[in-house]
Every structure is written in structure tokens, then in C-alpha cells.
Structure 1
Amino acid sequence: MLKGIPPIISPDLIKILMEMGHGDEIVLADGNFPSASHANHLIRCDGHGIPELLTAILEFLPIDTYVEFPVVGMDVVSGDTVEPIIWEKYEEIIYEQFNYSFPIKLIDRFEFYERTKNAYAVVATSETAQYANIILKKGVI
């Protein structure tokens, strides 16, 4: 154990966050996401939801302020009637951490999959909310 690191941050996850450089992206994937088949580096966080992981990760991960959309979500598929209220929770968490609202850009499911293949890592969670997947672009300190 180390001081100040939330127990939800596993050794593998802290290693990935440390390895990432400016502009690298990390995907926080819900329980339905095809994480293993899309990940360059896969971190398992079974039993945890994305909001609690996002809160812990943002204690360490700077968000890229040099791009228009450093936070990306998966948009609702056309014709689906789901209202992803989890996006509001993400906005609250981000604002609490940075005292600033980073706009969340929503992209098509298949575009999200392709972007995930280029991400540095995917964190597979047990999040049950639909359309809970989110991509964070690492910034500088």
C-alpha cells in the first residue's frame, strides 16, 4: 500500500497511468464493451463502476487542455430510447476535480470502437449503465 492512492487504483492501473504520455488516451469501458478484443493494454477492474474509477483516476491524470474535446463518450445508437444520465454524473465528477467543465464529445459506436483500438489502454469495469463508455486524453502537468 502507498499513502494517498485510493484502493480502487490497482498496481496495474497506476502503472498504466504513469506510462501514458501527453495525448495518450485511456478508455473506461462498461461491462458490455468488447474490451479484450479492442485493447492494446487491458486493465481489469471487475466489481467497480466507472464513476468511482473516474473520480479516483482524475486525482492523478491531467486532462489535455490543448485539444477541443479531451473527453469523449459513446453516443446513443439511432433509434435507441435510452437516456444516458451517467453523462451528467461524469460532468459533475470532472467539474469537481478541475473546477472546470470539459465538454464531452459524443461519437458513433463504431467510431468509438476504432478510437479505442488506438488508445493506450482500456479499463474494463462492471459498469451496468448503458452508453457509459468514456475516453480521456492525458494532458501535461
Structure 2
Amino acid sequence: MLRNIDPILSPDLLYTLRAMGHGDEIVIADANFPGSSSGPGCIRADGSSASEILRAILSVMPLDTFVPDPALTMQVVGDPDAIPEAIADFQTIISEIADHPATIQGLERFAFYDRAATAFAIVQTGERRLYGNIILKKGVLG
């Protein structure tokens, strides 16, 4: 155990977060997301919700302040302006925890999949709420 480190941040996830550089992206994915087949390495966090993982990651990782969209979610198919429960929860967490809170931006479903395929890593959670996926861009410590 480490002091002041959320215990749901596994050794593999902590290593990944530390290895990421400025501008690298990490995906926090729900249980339905095709994490293992999307391209980058997939870290399993089946016992945690996407919100729990988001909160834990933001406790140690800064969001990028050099881009207008450091947090991206998947838009609802057929209703891109809808804000599902999971995404509303993500925005609350970012507003409360992030060192530089940002407004979440949406991406069309297939654009989200394409972006996820180029991420540094994917964290596959046990999240069961639909659209419980978010991409975070790592910033720098100031």
C-alpha cells in the first residue's frame, strides 16, 4: 500500500499513468466497450465503476490545459445532445477533482472508437451504465 494513493489504482494502472507523457490519452471504458480488441493495451478493472476509476485517475493525473477538449465522451447514437447518467457523473467528478476542470466534449460513436484505438491504454471497468466511456488527455504538472 502507498499513502494517499487510491487503492483501486492497481500496479499496472499506476505504471501506465506514470509512463504516459504530455498529450497521451487514456480511455476509461464501460463493461460493453471492446477494450481488448481496440488496439492499445487493456487494463482490467472489472470490480470498479468508470466513475470510481475516473476519480482515482484524476487524483494523480493532470488534465491537459493546452487543448480545448481534454475529456471526451461518446455521444448517444441518434441523440448527440443527450447527457446519459454516466456522463453527467463524469462531469461532476471532473469539476470536483481535476486540477484544471474542463467541460466534457462529445464524439460520434465511431469517431470515439477511432480515437480510443490510438490511446496509450484502455482501462476496462465493470461499469454497466450505458455510455460510461471517457477519454482523458494527460497534461503537465505545473
Give the structure-1-normalised TM-score: 0.93
Which secondary structure state, in structure 2, belongs to the residue aligned with residue 36 of structure 1? coil
Of 113-122 and 37-46, deviating more is 37-46
Question: Structure 2: which 5+ runs fail to align?
Answer: none
- Tell me the percent identity: 46
Alignment match, 2:138: 138
Alignment match, 2:55: 55
Q: What is the one-letter code of the residue matched to 2:126?
A: S
Matches within 5 A, 1:7-86: 7-78=7-78, 84-86=84-86
Q: What is the one-letter code of the residue matched to 1:11?
A: P
Cα RMSD between the aligned structures? 1.6
Matches within 5 A, 1:62-141: 62-78=62-78, 84-98=84-98, 101-141=101-141
Shift of 1:86: 1.6
- Flag as ranges the 4+ runs of structure 1 deviating above 2 A: 98-101
Distance 1:129 1:23, change over 3 A: same
Question: Structure 1: which 5+ runs fail to align?
Answer: none
Of 129-138 and 84-93, deviating more is 84-93
Give the structure-2-normalised TM-score: 0.93
Distance 1:79 1:69, change over 3 A: closer
